[in-house]
């Protein structure tokens, strides 16, 4: 019996941060090591180019950084297929076929697209490639007949649009495509705030802790973290709800009893922010040091990293090519055999 397939990925627009780590990277490693799934992990460089087409060098550099982060956290190319989206041309043809099944008004109603258009201030100057990327994402998922797609809540509309495309295609041409199901992260995972406590981590906001950050950089960022603004003196009662430092402790500290005691102490007063931050720094350093060291080792041989990406892309292309062949035959455009 064949394994279920999982597809995950990231846009290469910079190094990966702790939000990526707790929201997806750790679970990818766990799923990979479980042996229960066939895992495809995509570096979505074409999707990144939809709003960075005039700065392709940014994407090229980031692709290497993302690959290093993947390998550093424990994604194993002998267990997972790591591939580069642009190296699978079959995805582009699948996108074209699916565009015929989607209306412009449906794309305009996609809440994820609407929100991202607003965030990027595209207004009426929306790049067409960006506008249709939900369809491209459907091509990515269906090309590998992924049964499971781990996503955050903000990506649920994208999965639903993929399911709509699958249903529409299968109703017209026959049962060729697989309808995927989403898997949401548990608890607070995927919602780790930036160190300013106001938003998700992002390079543009300069509020992230990155997997490649040095020991000193991590300490500096932790000690600058936003906490409870009303917790001015050590003896003052503090609030742990939505307190950035405690959110990070919940995500990273395995000693839940110690965290619970600190929360109780902080709430009643008598525990200062500096002491809590120092403890968090120790926790993060212990978590990230082995990742940083592995990353440094892989970075010594970038040609080998690219060899891993090429081998993964070649393997992924074989799978996508088979799906495209089935799609073309179902549509009836395999004229010359």
pLDDT in tens, 221-260: 999 999 999 999 999 999 999 899 999 999 999 999 999 9
| One domain, residues 134 and 272 | no
**Other Cβ atoms within 10 Å of 59 Cβ, number:** 23
pLDDT in tens, 69-80: 999 999 999 999
Q: Is residue 201 part of a domain?
A: no
| One domain, residues 219 and 176 | no
**Other Cβ atoms within 10 Å of 263 Cβ, number:** 19
Bridge partners of residue 84, in order along the sequence: 43
* Secondary structure of residue 183 in the 3-state scheme: strand
Q: Is residue 196 part of a domain?
A: no
| One domain, residues 175 and 226 | no
| One domain, residues 36 and 177 | yes
| One domain, residues 282 and 311 | no
Q: Is residue 22 part of a domain?
A: yes
As a whole number of angstroms, the distance between CA 210 and CA 217 comes to 9
As a whole number of angstroms, the distance between CA 142 and CA 306 comes to 25
Query: Average per-residue pLDDT in the chain?
Result: 92
Q: Is residue 208 part of a domain?
A: no
pLDDT in tens, 252-293: 999 999 999 999 999 999 999 999 999 999 999 999 999 999
As a whole number of angstroms, the distance between CA 15 and CA 18 comes to 10
| One domain, residues 17 and 68 | yes
Which helix (H) or strand (E) is 186 found in, with range? Answer: none
Q: Please report which confidence band the pLDDT of residue 187 belongs to, taking 50, 70 and 90 as the band edges.
A: low
Which of these, 111, 116, 157, lies nearest to 137 by C-alpha position? 157
Q: Who wins on pLDDT, 94 or 1? A: 94
As a whole number of angstroms, the distance between CA 28 and CA 77 comes to 12
Among the residue ranges 26-35, 95-104, 191-200, 255-264, the one predicted with the least confidence is: 191-200
| One domain, residues 16 and 142 | yes
Among the residue ranges 121-125, 164-168, 236-240, the one predicted with the least confidence is: 121-125
Which of these, 131, 32, 26, 40, lies nearest to 73 by C-alpha position? 26
| One domain, residues 20 and 147 | yes
Per-residue pLDDT at 1: 43
Return the CATH number at 246: 1.10.240.10
pLDDT in tens, 53-92: 999 999 999 999 999 999 999 999 999 999 999 999 999 9
pLDDT in tens, 299-327: 999 999 999 999 999 999 999 999 999 99
| One domain, residues 163 and 17 | yes
Q: Is residue 186 part of a domain?
A: yes
**Other Cβ atoms within 10 Å of 141 Cβ, number:** 29
Name the domain count of the chain: 2
Per-residue pLDDT at 188: 45
| One domain, residues 227 and 273 | yes
Q: Is residue 53 part of a domain?
A: yes
The angle subtended at Cα 201 by Cα 308 and Cα 113, nearest 5°, is: 85
| One domain, residues 12 and 97 | yes
Residue 230's domain comprises: 215-296
Q: Is residue 206 part of a domain?
A: no
Q: Is residue 198 part of a domain?
A: no
Residues 6+ apart with CB under 8 A from 258: none
pLDDT in tens, 138-162: 999 999 999 999 887 778 889 999 9
| One domain, residues 225 and 327 | no
Bridge partners of residue 9, in order along the sequence: 42
Return the CATH number at 175: 3.40.50.620
Per-residue pLDDT at 42: 98
Q: Please report which confidence band the pLDDT of residue 186 belongs to, taking 50, 70 and 90 as the band edges.
A: low
Q: Kindly tell me the number of DSSP H helices and DSSP E strands found in the chain.
A: 15, 5
Write the DSSP string, 93-153. Answer: HHHHHHHTT--HHHHHH-HHHHHHHHHTT-TT---HHHHTHHHHHHHHHHHTT-SEEE--G
Angle, helix 156-173 to helix 133-143, in steps of 10 degrees = 70
């Amino acid at each position: 019996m064949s394994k279920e397939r999982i597809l995950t990925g990231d846009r290469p627009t910079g190094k990966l941060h702790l939000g990526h780590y707790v929201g997806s990277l750790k679970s990818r490693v766990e799923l990979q090591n479980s042996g229960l799934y066939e895992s495809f992990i995509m570096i979505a460089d074409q999707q990144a180019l939809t709003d960075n087409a005039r700065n392709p060098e940014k994407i090229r550099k980031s692709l290497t950084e993302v690959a290093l982060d993947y390998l550093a956290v424990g994604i194993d190319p002998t267990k997972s297929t790591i591939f580069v989206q642009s190296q699978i041309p079959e995805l582009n043809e699948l996108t074209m076929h699916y565009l015929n099944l989607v209306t412009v008004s449906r794309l305009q109603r996609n809440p994820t697209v609407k929100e991202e258009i607003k965030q990027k201030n595209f207004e009426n100057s929306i790049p067409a490639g960006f506008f249709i990327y939900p369809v491209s994402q459907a091509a990515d998922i269906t090309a590998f007949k992924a049964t499971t797609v781990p996503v955050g809540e903000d990506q649920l509309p994208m999965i639903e649009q993929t399911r709509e495309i699958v249903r529409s295609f299968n109703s017209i041409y026959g049962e060729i495509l697989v309808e995927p199901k989403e898997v949401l992260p548990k608890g607070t995972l995927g919602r780790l705030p930036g160190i300013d406590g106001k938003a998700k981590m992002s390079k543009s906001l300069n509020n992230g802790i990155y997997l490649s950050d040095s020991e000193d950089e991590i300490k500096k960022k932790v000690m600058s973290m936003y906490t409870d603004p009303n917790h001015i003196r050590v003896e003052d009662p503090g609030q742990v709800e939505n307190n950035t430092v405690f959110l990070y402790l919940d995500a990273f500290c395995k000693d839940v009893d110690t965290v619970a005691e600190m929360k109780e102490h902080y709430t009643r007063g008598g525990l200062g922010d500096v002491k809590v931050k120092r403890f968090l720094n120790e926790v993060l350093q212990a978590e990230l040091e082995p990742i940083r060291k592995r990353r440094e080792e892989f970075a010594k041989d970038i040609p080998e990293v690219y060899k891993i990406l090429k081998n993964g892309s070649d393997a992924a292309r074989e799978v996508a090519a088979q799906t495209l062949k089935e799609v073309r035959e179902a549509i009836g455009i395999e004229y010359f055999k």
